[in-house]
Amino acid sequence: SQKIEQNSEALNIQEGKTATLTCNYTNYSPAYLQWYRQDPGRGPVFLLLIRENEKEKRKERLKVTFDTTLKQSLFHITASQPADSATYLCALDTGRRALTFGSGTRLQVQP
Amino acid sequence: ETGVTQSPTHLIKTRGQQVTLRCSSQSGHNTVSWYQQALGQGPQFIFQYYREEENGRGNFPPRFSGLQFPNYSSELNVNALELDDSALYLCASSLVSGGSDEQYFGPGTRLTVT
């Protein structure tokens, strides 16, 4: 069956460190993969998009990798800050424009 | 803050009733998608409208229906409400391009079915 897996346990890190979040998927062939941030009681906010033929994408302190062989995407936040604390969602776009989301990983950055 | 608004913010309904949720898309966007998000889960795709036509549907029964209007505002209607319909309902607008479309989400409507 099709599955998208993100760490269900919260990730706790110290301010200034790099946070690495994982998104694994099975039985999908996504053309694109997107990452979103969601704060409590609010809608998700788009962060980054990566295509199947791209290995890596960067935006300021954010970096996403996409390995279609491993069926995995890694999301990195460098020099993390308490304001980065939120739930991060990965979403697969199989080319039909409907996004399929993982359940998200909650990141807590301690000052 | 995106330019997507939703109303109402919160809603409490009784099992068996019907509900209509509303969404106003970001200016210039021609596509709206609706998602259901249960507590602790990621959003689940309900359906998408492009230029007033349904353009894709997730695994939701026909009692979930929608409309998109010429001004690109949208409605989600749910008939015969069930307890499991309690969730955060999100709409997201986007501008269809040649590739994947970044979605602009509204703040959501929290529906509670008792």
Q: Which residue type, as a one-letter code, is found at position B8?
A: P
Residues of A within 8 A of B42 (CB-CB) are: 4, 89, 91, 101-104
pLDDT in tens, A31-57: 889 999 999 989 999 999 999 889 899
pLDDT at A78 (0 to 100): 98
Residue A31 touches partner B, C-beta closer than 8 Å: yes
Residue A34 touches partner B, C-beta closer than 8 Å: yes
Residues of B within 8 A of A88 (CB-CB) are: none
Distance, CA of B15 to chain centre:
20
Give the SS3 label for residue B85: helix
CB proximity list for A70: less than 8 A, separation 6 or greater: none
CB proximity list for A53: less than 8 A, separation 6 or greater: none
Contact A42 B108 (CB under 8 A): yes
Contact A104 B105 (CB under 8 A): no
Residues of A within 8 A of B24 (CB-CB) are: none
**Mean pLDDT rounded to a whole number for chain B:** 92
Residue A83 buriedness (CB in 10 A; 0-12 / 13-18 / 19+): exposed
Confidence band, pLDDT 50/70/90 cuts, at residue B110: very high
pLDDT in tens, B53-74: 998 899 999 999 999 998 889 9
